[in-house]
Amino acid sequence: MARQARLDAPGTLHHVIIRGLERRAIVKDDVDRAAFVTRLGALAQATGTPIYGWALLPNHAHVLLRSGPTGLPRFMRRLLTGYAITFNRRHRRVGHLFQNRYKSIVCEEEAYFRELVRYIHLNPLRAKLVPDLRALDRYPWGGHATVVGRLHHAWQDRRTVLGWFGRTEGRAVRAYRAYVREGIPAGHRPDLVGGGLVRSAGGWAEVRARRRQKEPLAGDPRILGSGDFVAGLLRDADARQAAVLRRAPTPEETEAVMGRICKRARASVEELKSGGRRGPLSAVRAALAREFVAGLGLSLAQAARHLGVSTAAISKILRKTDA
């Protein structure tokens, strides 16, 4: 089955789950952990991406964030590619570190924000990396310690989280911590790490009841929310996609861009299309790849056909740009 496109627009609330390839470790010691967290924080500040909750575990990580102006895919590409390069260099390894496709779940804020913050921050306790809540209060590799005020990360949006629990900081911290404590017995929550019909409707019993009454149901594995939220989000996504298709560049527009950039660099369009690398052609090709994908909205395959290279080559150019 073909993968579904990601649902994203600036301001969308996402629960992102990152896993190591074949469940292998993505951090081996505190130096790796610090490198991952430092990169996450620097990118959050540089891109205007609010981070509400996070937890770094040996072979995976969770992040609750709101996508910034540049969108989630670019943010994640810069985070994962940059960290993987650092990790591989330090441990003298080659190859992929993460699963090819991180999981991102669009979340209905009113219904799930508090629960997701709690679920994500309890991950180190569930994984037995800390023995109890008091130890979690001081644990440096998750966002809980920042929310309760034991650690400070300028890039973590502590104020918004506490705003869900009280009007003053002291009361909010106490209410938040009590809420986290109440969630410990629940253990793993499969209903919060995916989306779709069962989760959207509130469980199989509700699905069966609504089916008997012949009520319409909406569900999608990319979304965590009510049926109405799912249906509305999918309508918005369809409208955005239609708008993209309506403004897709014509072949003439694409050729004009190519001609203009090649002329500026005194490069041959014909040699560029044939895959040549002489003189300035590699730099021109990189500039055109960025313009085609980010500026004109072409797919990687479309850009590759125009530039006489493989889709993998276009992907590599874009990774170098964002790293």
Return the number of other C-beta atoms located less than 10 Å from residue 319's C-beta. 16
What is the per-residue pLDDT for 233? 60
Mean pLDDT score, 161-187: 95
d(CA 40, CA 63): 10
What is the per-residue pLDDT for 269? 82
19-33, 84-98, 262-276: which has the minimum mean pLDDT? 262-276
Query: In this model, does residue 259 exceed pLDDT 90?
Result: no
- Global pTM exceeds 0.95: no
SS3 128: coil
CA distance to 106, 107, 112, 163, 223, per residue, from 15 (Å)? 7, 7, 10, 19, 10
What is the per-residue pLDDT for 36? 98
Query: In this model, does residue 241 exceed pLDDT 50?
Result: no
Mean pLDDT score, 290-314: 76
**Which homologous superfamily is 13-190 in?**
Transposase IS200-like (3.30.70.1290)
Residue 232 confidence class, pLDDT cut points 50, 70, 90: low
Query: In this model, does residue 214 exceed pLDDT 70?
Result: no
34-48, 83-97, 198-212, 271-285: which has the minimum mean pLDDT? 198-212
Residue 245 confidence class, pLDDT cut points 50, 70, 90: very low
pLDDT in tens, 103-150: 888 888 888 899 999 999 999 999 999 999 999 999 999 999 999 999
- Cβ–Cβ < 8 Å for 79, 40: yes
What is the per-residue pLDDT for 208? 55
d(CA 278, CA 316): 19
Residue ranges of the chain assigned to CATH 3.30.70.1290: 13-190
CA-wise closest residue to 118 among 192, 51, 221, 61: 192
Can you list the positions of beta strands (E) in 103-196?
Answer: 103-107
83-87, 97-101, 124-128, 305-309: which has the minimum mean pLDDT? 305-309
d(CA 221, CA 195): 4
pLDDT top residue among 71 and 153: 153
What is the per-residue pLDDT for 255? 85
What is the per-residue pLDDT for 186? 85
Question: What backbone phi and psi angles, to 5 degrees, belong to 64?
Answer: -105, 115
Mean pLDDT score, 94-105: 87
The rounded percent of the chain whose pLDDT value lies above 90 is: 46
What is the per-residue pLDDT for 250? 74
What is the per-residue pLDDT for 28? 97
